[in-house]
Structure formats: C-alpha cells, structure tokens
Amino acid sequence: MTEYVRLRSEDPVLIEEGPSALPHAYAGISGFHRLTAKEIKEHGWLEYSVDDLPEFDADTQETESILVLEDDKVRLTHEVKPLHPAVVARLLEEAKQEAIATVASLRWEAEVSGTEWEGIALDTSREGRTALFQAAQEGEEEEWKDRYGYWNVMSPEQLQDAYRAVQEHKRRCFAMERQLTDEIQNMASIKGLRKLDLETPWRRLV
C-alpha cells in the first residue's frame, strides 16, 4: 500500500500529517483518495517511502534517519555515522563487565561441579569441601560417599589427599577465572571481545 504525507515545511522537510493511506475525504472533497497524482499534490499530499536500513557496526556506528524531498516524493533515508569515542569506550566497558560476570558465573559452576581423584567423584561444593576437611582432620578411616552415591573406604591419608585434590580443583578454577578476566580486560574492541571463547576452557577443569 502506497503511503502519503502532508508537509509542514519543505526546508527542512517536516511532516504535518501521515504517513498513511490517503484520506477518503479531505478539504471538503469526497473521494479524495481517487484523485489523480497531480490533484493530490496540489492539496499538499506527497508519496512517502522508507529506505532499507543500511548495514552498520552497532559497536562503533549509529544511524540517523533523515527526511528528503526528491521529485515531489518524500523519502526517509538513513545515514551511517561513527559513534563518539566516549560512547564507544563506554559500550566496550559495559561489554567487558558483562563478560567478567559471565566468567565468574562459569567459575562458580565449575568450582562446585566436582572433580575426580583416584577414580572417586569428589564433591567440590563448599559444603562438600568442609565435610572432607573435617574428615581429614579426624585422622580415622572412614567410608566416604562420593557425588554419585557410591561408598569408598578411605584411610586418613587418602582423606587428606582427597581434600588436597578438591582444594587444587578450587585453585585451578580461580586461576582460570583470573586468566580469562585478564584477557577480557586487555581487549581493545567489542568485536575482539566477542571472539573470546569463555566456555570451552572450563571443560578441562571438570
């Protein structure tokens, strides 16, 4: 459906009415929408169209919509402009903070997801680490239930080694978080930041 507008001014181009289909009645004229293009123009109504939005980099550019009057037709076009450097810097910082928060969340998931030691699936949640620490401190043989519900008879030395294993797992998780955070902070652009793989490294820790 062709749309029309009635202008308030031509320089600058300002729209008074529309865009819309032509009114059926206007200025006392019934059947206004059936008038010829010349007659419609004489009453101030012009054909209106909108250009497709051009491709642009939303991280460093923006578009500005501009009304232009050409050949007795009004067209809404779009001009691509660079973002102010301060805006680009702010967007980059916001993206970095979001990525850092994602890494912290992934670290937490990896930290508490468990680790395997001597074929035993150890609970690495904070409660699990505390319970294992207490058992290791008691210095007695104990039947230890792993993450999957299997029981394992463990000597005092094994309990101590198992506790050291869950602590080492925790340290590796925090070291990975620190490494990825440093990589994020060193990124000079959002495009580069998006290329960082923040998920795959954690699979090596589980």
How far apart (Å, rounded) are the C-alpha atoms in residues 46 and 37?
9
Q: Which domain holds residue 78?
A: 3-82
Q: Where are the beta strands (DSSP E) in the chain?
A: 3-10, 13-20, 25-26, 29-30, 45-50, 61-70, 73-82, 115-117, 120-122, 142-145, 151-154
Which of 23, 56, 82 is the endpoint of a domain?
82
Same structural domain, 96 and 191: yes
CB 43, CB 28: distance < 8 Å = no
Q: Give this prediction's pTM.
A: 0.73
Tokens describing residue 23: 């009114």
CB 43, CB 27: distance < 8 Å = yes
Same structural domain, 26 and 108: no
Same structural domain, 99 and 19: no
Same structural domain, 132 and 152: yes
Which of 82, 110, 140 is the endpoint of a domain?
82
Q: Look at residue 206 in the predicted model and tell me its pLDDT.
A: 66
pLDDT tens, the chain, 206 aa long: 899 999 999 999 999 999 999 999 998 899 998 999 889 998 999 999 999 999 999 999 999 999 999 999 999 999 999 999 999 999 999 999 999 999 999 999 999 999 999 999 999 999 999 999 999 999 899 999 999 999 999 999 999 999 999 999 999 999 999 999 999 999 999 999 999 999 999 988 76
Same structural domain, 78 and 92: no
Same structural domain, 34 and 75: yes
Same structural domain, 118 and 55: no
Same structural domain, 76 and 144: no
Same structural domain, 199 and 143: yes
Same structural domain, 35 and 106: no
**CA separation (Å) from 183 to 32, 59, 197?**
65, 19, 10
Which of 52, 82, 112 is the endpoint of a domain?
82
Cis peptide bond upstream of 19, omega within 30: yes
Same structural domain, 169 and 115: yes
Q: Determine the 3-state secondary structure of 17 from DSSP.
A: strand
